[in-house]
Homo-oligomer: A and B are copies of this chain.
């Protein structure tokens, strides 16, 4: 039962210390063969201590070594001291962890159009469909059951997981990761009503452009533009089950948490952070560095550097005050009635 990676690599604490460019304390010959968290670590694992408050867990971990903050000390097991233990740990993870990919080359059960251009050193799995005139960059990794419709381009070092649909004319940059079942370039949701109030489809003839270093979550959907482009700019990270409608433009280094939806033609600035299950109406503009709390509902523009919450959204402090007040609403109602009676009594007495 393969619940644990089989990692054949072994390295000593002293060698790892050199690799990470961080000093070690304790027995340098201790062998490390994997990484884990404090609670679940086993013999041979490396762990890290992010905060002093987790030190008690260090006491009980079965790990063989730990990366700890530079100003901490510990001597039950060998430690490596780092200014940024999490970052050093990530470097160690990349040393030990080889993410799975299909074998190098094109699997005999894949279909690649004779007019497609495929780069060097790609890993294209079984049951992949690559349409006419598609371009695939060097070292791209494409898992089974990916459909790439004609005239699309996938850049260098991309990873496209199983069941992803990349519709016609989509342009995907370099080092983009797309998780299982995501749909890039489905038709936007656009209709006009005919004279009998039936909905007539507006052909969606634009496309989707995804820039470098974007990551897109599982079963997320990004619609093609009706005309022009839907754009996701470089470094933006999108979680699972997110909806991005036609003609939306998302700035660079944005975070969109799961199940958020952005309606047509809205524009999201740089470095915006959007919580889970947020809804953003169509034709809205959100400035750079805005933070939207989970479940916010946004139907108006938001200036740069704001924090908002609630639906319809309010400035964060207003929203927090409203949240504190809502549980008191019922008592307020009763209190108002009481005050009203007292005033009536006072008025009567005065007459």
Chain A residues engaging chain B, CB cutoff 8 angstroms: 1-6, 35-37, 39-40, 86-87, 90, 93-94, 97, 99-100, 109, 111, 125-127, 129, 133, 135, 143-145, 147, 149-153, 161-163, 165, 167-169, 171, 177, 179-181, 183, 186-187, 189, 191-192, 197-203, 205, 207, 209, 213, 215, 217-219, 221, 223, 227-229, 235, 237, 239-241, 243, 245, 253, 255, 257-259, 261, 263, 271, 276-277, 279, 281, 294-295, 297, 299, 310-312, 314, 318, 321-330, 332-333, 335-336, 339-340, 342-343, 346-347, 349-350
Contacts and interface: CB of A to CB of B under 8 A. Distances in A.
**Interface of A (DSSP majority class):** loop
Given A163-B165, A218-B186, A333-B328, A253 B339 contact: no
Contacts of A324: 330
Contacts of A163: 145, 147, 163, 165, 181, 183
B171 A3 contact: yes
Contact of A227 (B36, B171, B235): B36
A303 B125 CA distance: 47
B90 A192 contact: yes
Q: Which 3 A-B pairs have the closest CB atoms?
A: A165-B180, A325-B329, A321-B330
Nearest to A181: B183
Contacts of A143: 147, 149
Count of identical protomers in the assembly: 3
Nearest to A315: B327
A57 to B, nearest CB: 13
Given A183-B181, A228-B39, A294-B281, A97 B144 contact: no
Contacts of A347: 342, 346
Given A183-B219, A263-B276, 7 more contacts: A1-B153, A5-B205, A111-B144, A127-B145, A161-B165, A162-B165, A259-B259
A266 B330 CA distance: 31
